[in-house]
Amino acid sequence: MITRYRCNACGNLTRFDVVETTSVRSFYHFTVGGELSIEEPDVIAKTVDSVTCRWCGHGRNVEEVTEDA
């Protein structure tokens, strides 16, 4: 299942500004010298804060469309 968006005001299906908040747990691996490499990022929570239609400039008519992948 994938989630798409559709703007019912202009019919846009392809261009949106999406603001989302993502919580990621990562394995921080420091060398003795203090160099960092970040490994195994794991998204533990994702919240979509707003979806705005690029053409209309607002998200008042944007709705989620769920379809089978």
Count of C-beta atoms within a 10 Å radius of residue 21:
9
Q: How far apart are the first and last CA of the chain?
A: 5
Considering only residues 35 to 64 of the shown chain, the ones binding Zn ion according to CB under 5 A are: 53, 55-56
Residues with Cβ < 8 Å from 8, sequence gap 6 or more?
61, 62, 63
- Candidates 10-18, 25-33, 35-43, 44-52 — which segment interacts with Zn ion by CB under 5 A? 10-18
Q: Does 65 bind Zn ion (CB under 5 A)?
A: no
CB of 25 to Zn ion, least distance (A): 36
Interface contacts to Zn ion, rule CB under 5 A: 7, 9-10, 12, 53, 55-56
